[in-house]
Chains A and B, each alone.
Chain A
Amino acid sequence: MTVVDLSSRRADAAAAPPRAVLEVRDLVTHFPTRTGVVKAVDGVSFTVERGKTLCVVGESGSGKSVTARSILQIVDQPGRIVSGSMLLHRPDGSAVDLATLHPRGREIRAVRGAEIAMIFQEPMSSLSPVHTVGDQIMEVLLLHLRLSKKEARARTVELLRQVEIPHPDKAVDRYTFEFSGGMRQRVMIAMALACNPAMLIADEPTTALDVTTQAEILDLIKRLQQQHGMAVMFITHDMGVVAEIADEVLVMYHGKVMEAGPVDQIFHAPQNDYTKMLIGSVLKLEQKAEIRLKRAPLAEDAPSVIEIDNLKMHFGSPAAPIRAVDDVSLQVKAGETLGIVGESGSGKTTMGRCLLRIYQPTGGAMRYRKADGTVVDLVTADKETLKLCRREIRMIFQDPVGSLNPRMTVAQIIGEPLLVNGIAKGSELDDRVSVLMDQVGLNPDWRERYPHAFSGGQRQRIGIARAISLNPRVIVADEATSALDVSLRSQMLDLMMRLQDELKLSYVFISHDIGVIRYMCDRVSVMYQGRVVETGSTDQVCDAPQHAYTQALLSAIPRPDPRLRSMHKRHRYIA
């Protein structure tokens, strides 16, 4: 186990004199529908300069991706650029207006990849699974630079070395499925860099990646930018990433630019109300929730509701099992919120599902103390006991769309647990549902509506109402806020904490986001490769982590403050 300090590895190339690479003026992109026009981009102007990073930030549906796609004229059908200009300045002093080029013409094809390259969010679907990595990069070189096959291969190996793929001479003949998500994104970057583009457009390139991998990719893009003097247009919804890498920031909302300016000004002296709200909701998640500050501290000797001992969940053949959960022991105390934090593949979701026995654990014990004081082992409980326990232990799902049956009304969804458990029916059920909807902040008049009529945040409230309908004692919340925009997250967490006080709930709160953990949780357990590496009070784990993995994880998280850039000080954890 070693910790590598990366601070000395930061390249210090002299920044090239700033000069505009791309000037976008009054860009308008519309999506005509049968009944009207969706103005996805509505009069956006900005300039991207050589060697600088412009971050385009906004919540889902703000038009940030369409803006990027408009530049390369790869907007999905039936969208089209209506007006505006996009001047691309070439090194020889000439300029071309990309908005006037034909989307399938030769001129724009010459720009794509060669002068402006793009990387996408999902590296698996943007790479071909049936060609080797080398073939795909070489194709770009053969097309745009007309190199010979041998030269192209040598250059490909060199590019893979630049993006720090181990053993580039062997990796060149591998297929994409043999790489991890982070490595695939490196391959995408290598492909984007193949022709030394003047500008790189990165559309949420790190959203699908873990924080530690994200830090590596951000660092790589930064370093390559300094080496090549590229202009970078970086699209993200993560304000931490913006603070870490941006020179200039463009805040978008509903297709319009809300505010544009240097990163420090956006974070420390925002002018626009929307920007203020956005920054405010991000900063709110940087500290403990106000509700928790007001609460009396939880008694040290509070009785535990659930005690998990040596829980094991193995998948695959018993001979060579995949240990998704490997010897985990935890306690959930009455009235507390226990956070489970970890990266993808750490086993946190599997652990949560074992708690409700959606998966049958391979071994261990989960002792649940029922309301009447009797103790049940959930691992071995029979069907009837399990059904009773599942009334008291409920779950909130990550996906607010997939977890609600689109073919049932809200009243039916929320009332389902009451109905199937024979607790209420008829007009009594109707009343109970109205009370529940009121409790989670939904208008009871909406109970005949179907889930498609609700926004993501409202759908998650429906999910919460369903979870509390049986007066549970423990709720397992699996990434309950990660599908929501940042401005909604704190609202949702506040609602959950209010319900905790009203209903005396305990939460098992599973998340990859240390921000919401810090906001919400009393204690936190850090999981890594199926094991719990550290458990402690949230303050202690977040501020003074003991385990090297926790330290590496925390150091990789970008802070939403451009004055506290810390990525270059991060540690790498090697088990």
Chain B
Amino acid sequence: MTDVAFAAIDQRKVAVASQWQLVWWAFKRHRLAMIGLWVTAFFYLIAVIPGFFAINDPSQQNARAAYQPPQGLHFIDTAADGSWSFRPYFHPTTLKRDPQTLAAVHVPDTSRKIYVTMFGEGYEYSVLGVFSARTHLFVSSEARQPLFLLGADRLGRCVWSRIMQGTQISLSVGLVGVFLSLLLGIVLGGISGYYGGRIDFVIQRTIEFILALPTIPIWLAMAAALPQDWPATLNYFMITVILSLTGWAQLARVVRGRFLSLRTEEFVTAARLDGASEGRIIFRHMLPSFASHIIASITLAIPAMILAETSLSFLGLGLQPPTISWGVLLREAQNIRSIATAPWLFAPGIAVVIAVIALNFLGDGLRDAADPYNK
């Protein structure tokens, strides 16, 4: 059915189109998946340069901004004479005490306008530890009146900036974790599927054992066993290892299944009769046939990793402050007081939901497009 599916594309181009070209054409027709792709790409862009998208230094505490509610942005600036221009601004707030309850109240001062500068200078941040920069997507034009787009937390830290910073850790945990699972999954699944027999039996029983382990208690136990005095980077690495220890089993099964079905394909027999060596059969003939399936499986595995990291950190057993991840941020929203006084502390949860859904759409689209030859 390849010819029907790609009827819109010039037949001469289809004739010389490689597997990846066909996959890409099939994928492009999947609109939700394309949206997922763009959103995911945008999230990973944030993960690479979170400082650029942040407004305030995510670790900067500000006693006057504790539980500061989100400050709305106004886009159209109307002057006194009735003329208007497109110029985003916000009203600064002043901290007051309620005379009866003595609770802190942030009152916007509507008489004053503070403009937002695009690509302005702000706090200094480092890009992937290589060089440092000061340019931000947007900053408050007055350094003494910071903009809290999504409000501030208990210690007056900017929630928006912390979400941006958390993107880096949360999304890379997914990527690194899946990469480790992939390594284990392909090697063990490949050995299992290609050689079969007793090796297959042992590996399959091991996989079944690992899948039978209740994941959350195991994660909790292993994360709790990590020494508290380890540096943040080592801690981060160990968390990804713990997450991937259970993730590889599913992937190994996928790889084994593909190997088993490919082993009996006639083109593999033909390659063997051509005199191709074992290595060439595996890497030249079999691997390209399921590479796209594997990429689809990986994409679907990343959201699970992100969710796992979020849950672990939320429960206080994953990454520890001052490391910033979405799960760590959500710990701020653990008690009823936060829900009542500062609902904006849930904003990292929305980031988790959007990232997971986008990755799932992307993975679904890839899975549907993965095999352009059998429709």
CA distance A329 to B211 in the complex (A): 52
- Contact between B7 and A36 (Cβ–Cβ < 8 Å)? yes
Q: How far is the CB of A306 from chain B (nearest CB, A)?
A: 16
- From the candidates A395, A404, A408, A446, name the one contacting B15 in the complex (CB within 8 A): A446
User: How many of B's residues come within 8 Å of A, CB to CB?
Assistant: 31
- Contact between A416 and B19 (Cβ–Cβ < 8 Å)? no
Residues of B within 8 Å of A36, CB to CB, are 7
**Interface members, chain B 240-276 (any A CB < 8 Å):** 265-267, 269-276
The stretch of A41-49, A316-324, A449-457, A509-517 that contacts the partner chain: A449-457
Residues of A within 8 Å of B3, CB to CB, are 452
**Interface members, chain B 3-31 (any A CB < 8 Å):** 3-4, 7-8, 11, 14-19, 22, 29
- Contact between B266 and A452 (Cβ–Cβ < 8 Å)? no
- From the candidates B16, B22, B29, name the one contacting A449 in the complex (CB within 8 A): B16
Q: How far is the CB of B261 from chain A (nearest CB, A)?
A: 12
- Counting CB contacts under 8 A, is A420 at the interface? yes
Residues of A within 8 Å of B269, CB to CB, are 358, 397, 403
- Counting CB contacts under 8 A, is B285 at the interface? yes
With A390-B275, A402-B265 as given contacts, are A397 and B7 in contact (CB-CB < 8 Å)?
Answer: no
- Counting CB contacts under 8 A, is B120 at the interface? no
- Contact between A452 and B267 (Cβ–Cβ < 8 Å)? no
- Contact between B266 and A394 (Cβ–Cβ < 8 Å)? no
- Counting CB contacts under 8 A, is A356 at the interface? yes
With A391-B275, A403-B270 as given contacts, are A452 and B2 in contact (CB-CB < 8 Å)?
Answer: yes
- Contact between B16 and A403 (Cβ–Cβ < 8 Å)? no
CA distance A407 to B21 in the complex (A): 11
Closest to B15 in A: A453
- Contact between A420 and B8 (Cβ–Cβ < 8 Å)? no
With A38-B4, A402-B265, A450-B17 as given contacts, are A466 and B373 in contact (CB-CB < 8 Å)?
Answer: no
- Contact between A420 and B274 (Cβ–Cβ < 8 Å)? yes
Which of B15, B17, B270 is packed against the most chain A CB atoms within 10 Å?
A: B270
- Contact between B285 and A405 (Cβ–Cβ < 8 Å)? yes
Q: How far is the CB of B11 from chain A (nearest CB, A)?
A: 8
Which of B11, B14, B267 is packed against the most chain A CB atoms within 10 Å?
A: B267
With A391-B275, A417-B274, A420-B276 as given contacts, are A35 and B18 in contact (CB-CB < 8 Å)?
Answer: no
Closest to B20 in A: A407
A/B pair count, beta carbons within 8 Å:
77
Which of B2, B14, B29, B275 is packed against the most chain A CB atoms within 10 Å?
A: B275
With A33-B4, A405-B267 as given contacts, are A453 and B289 in contact (CB-CB < 8 Å)?
Answer: no
CA distance A356 to B8 in the complex (A): 44
Q: How far is the CB of B331 from chain A (nearest CB, A)?
A: 48
Q: How far is the CB of B350 from chain A (nearest CB, A)?
A: 35
CA distance A399 to B4 in the complex (A): 21
- Contact between B19 and A395 (Cβ–Cβ < 8 Å)? no
- Counting CB contacts under 8 A, is A448 at the interface? yes
CA distance A387 to B275 in the complex (A): 6
With A33-B7, A38-B4 as given contacts, are A453 and B16 in contact (CB-CB < 8 Å)?
Answer: yes
Residues of B within 8 Å of A406, CB to CB, are 19, 373
CA distance A409 to B29 in the complex (A): 25
- Counting CB contacts under 8 A, is A34 at the interface? yes
- Contact between A35 and B8 (Cβ–Cβ < 8 Å)? yes
CA distance A114 to B162 in the complex (A): 70
Which of A394, A405, A448 is packed against the most chain B CB atoms within 10 Å?
A: A405
- From the candidates B16, B17, B275, B285, name the one contacting A421 in the complex (CB within 8 A): B275
Residues of A within 8 Å of B288, CB to CB, are 407
CA distance A206 to B202 in the complex (A): 45
Closest to A478 in B: B266
Q: How far is the CB of A268 from chain B (nearest CB, A)?
A: 37
Residues of B within 8 Å of A421, CB to CB, are 274-275
With A33-B4, A356-B273, A402-B265 as given contacts, are A449 and B15 in contact (CB-CB < 8 Å)?
Answer: yes
- Contact between B18 and A450 (Cβ–Cβ < 8 Å)? yes
- From the candidates A390, A420, A448, name the one contacting B16 in the complex (CB within 8 A): A448
CA distance A408 to B16 in the complex (A): 10
- Counting CB contacts under 8 A, is B74 at the interface? no
Residues of B within 8 Å of A394, CB to CB, are 273
CA distance A448 to B267 in the complex (A): 18
- Counting CB contacts under 8 A, is B280 at the interface? yes
Which of A35, A397, A450 is packed against the most chain B CB atoms within 10 Å?
A: A450
Residues of A within 8 Å of B285, CB to CB, are 405, 408
- Counting CB contacts under 8 A, is B277 at the interface? yes
- Contact between A407 and B266 (Cβ–Cβ < 8 Å)? no
- Contact between A450 and B273 (Cβ–Cβ < 8 Å)? no
- Contact between A404 and B8 (Cβ–Cβ < 8 Å)? no
CA distance A356 to B276 in the complex (A): 15
Closest to B287 in A: A407
Q: How far is the CB of A29 from chain B (nearest CB, A)?
A: 16
- Contact between B15 and A450 (Cβ–Cβ < 8 Å)? yes
- Contact between B274 and A416 (Cβ–Cβ < 8 Å)? yes
CA distance A395 to B270 in the complex (A): 8
CA distance A416 to B269 in the complex (A): 13
Which of B2, B19, B274, B289 is packed against the most chain A CB atoms within 10 Å?
A: B274
A-B contact pairs, 20 of them (CB 8 A): A34-B8, A35-B8, A390-B273, A397-B266, A397-B270, A403-B266, A403-B267, A404-B270, A405-B267, A406-B373, A417-B275, A420-B280, A421-B274, A449-B16, A450-B16, A452-B3, A452-B14, A452-B22, A453-B15, A466-B270
List 18 additional A-B contacts (Cβ < 8 Å) besides A33-B7, A387-B275. Answer: A35-B8, A395-B270, A399-B266, A402-B265, A402-B267, A403-B266, A403-B269, A405-B267, A405-B289, A416-B271, A416-B274, A420-B277, A446-B15, A449-B16, A452-B3, A452-B14, A452-B22, A452-B373
